[in-house]
Structure 1
Amino acid sequence: MEKRKKFSETLQSLRRRSGLTQERLAEKLYVSRTAVSKWETGGGYPGLDTLVDIAALFDVSVDELLSGAEIVDIAESESRERAAGMFGIAAGALDLAAGLLFVLPLFGVERAGMVQTVSLVEYCGITQFGYSFVCVVLPLVIAGAAEIAARLLAGNRLANGMLVVSAAIHVLAVLLLAAARQPYATALLFVLFVAKAAIALYTVRRLR
C-alpha cells in the first residue's frame, strides 16, 4: 500500500505543479478522469505505456514516478492480463469451432435400414428435431464470437461473463446431443470443451 501511496502523491504533486485538473490530465493521456482519480487515490497503477506518457508529459523519468519493484509489479500484472486475454480468444475460437457441426457429416440418420451421417444442415431437412440442436449450437457459436469481440474491444471483465455463458451453453449442448444418441457430434463438442478446460487450467497456473 505504501508503494501505491508514493506513486499517487507523486502524480498528484506533478499534476498540481503543472496547473492541470484531473480532467485535463485525462485528456492529455487519452484516459478517463476516473482512471486518473484512481491512480491519485492509490487505487491502482497505469499501464507501462501510459507511465511513459506521464513521464514525458511532466519531463521526468519513469524511475521518478515508480520504484523498480513497482515497475516489475506492473509488468507482471500486464503479463497476467495478456495471458487472460489470450485464453479468452482461444476459448472463443473453440466455441466458434462448434460451427463445424453445420457442415461436417456427424449426425446419424437411418435410411433404408442403414445409418448414414449427415451435417446439421442436412439433418434439419430430414427431421424437425434437428432444430433443437441448432438452438444450442448456434448460440454457442455466437457466444464464441461475442467473447472474442469482448476481449478485443471491452476488456476482460465483460469477456469473463461471456465465458461463463458460453460454458453453460456448451455443457447443455453436450448433454442434449448425448441424450439424442449422436455420438460423433457429442464427441466433437466434448473434445472442444476439454480443450477449453485444459487451456483454462494452463492459464490459471500461469497467473499464479
Structure 2
Amino acid sequence: MWKSIPLQVLQLHQQLIVFCCVSRAMRLLSLIAVTLVAFYFVGVFTPDAPDIAEPVALPSTQAPAVTEEETAEDVRLTVLEASPTTQEPPAPERLSATTPPRAAAPELPVRIATPTPVLPSLATGLDLSATERAATAALAPDPRDIRVVTGTRVNLRAGPSTRNAILTQVLSGDQVEILEAGQGGWVKISANNGDVEGWMAARFLTAARR
C-alpha cells in the first residue's frame, strides 16, 4: 500500500505532521507566556492590604471624685481673700508758701554797625581804556585768510606739484590759513595750528564761516 503512494505525497504528509507538532508547542509556549505576564501585572497593580489599626487606649473622661467636702469655714476664708482691700486715698500735697524765683529777663541783641565797603570802581574810577581795547579787538576783522578742507583726506606736499614729497595729510573740516597762492591751482597753507606749512590743491578748500 505504501509503495503505491508517491514519494512526494509521503514527504508532504511528514511535513504536515511536523508543522502540527511545532504549532502545538508554540501555542503552549504562548499560553504559558501570557499566563506569566498576567500574574505579573496582577501582582504589580494589586493594592496592598491596609494595615489593621491597633486599638488606642482613650483617656478617661470621668471627673476625679472629690475626697473632701469644703467646710463653711473654708468658704468664708476664700471670700475674705477674694474681696479687694480698700486703700485710703493719698493726702493732698500742701502748697508751699515760698515765692518762686523770678525768671531772668532775656538779653536784647546788640546790633553792631558794619562799615559799607566802597567799590573800587567808584573810588578810583573804572579803567575804560582796557575795556575799549578788548571791544575793539573783538570787533576788528581777522586779516588772515582762513579756509576749511572739503576733501576727505588731502596730501600736504613740499611744493606745488604731485611730484613733491608728502609732508602730512589734512582731513575734512580742518581749518587752514592761506599763506601764498601758486600756479596751477596750488596754494601754500599753514596747518595744525601753524606747525606745518605746505602746498595743496585749492579745489579742496572753501571759505570758512565767520
TM-score bucket (shorter structure)? under 0.3
- Please report the TM-score for the alignment, with normalisation by the length of structure 2: 0.22
Query: Which has a greater percent of strand?
Result: 2
Query: Which has a greater percent of helix?
Result: 1
Query: Greater relative contact order (Cα 8 A, min sep 6): structure 1 or 2?
Result: 1
Higher CA-based Rg: 2
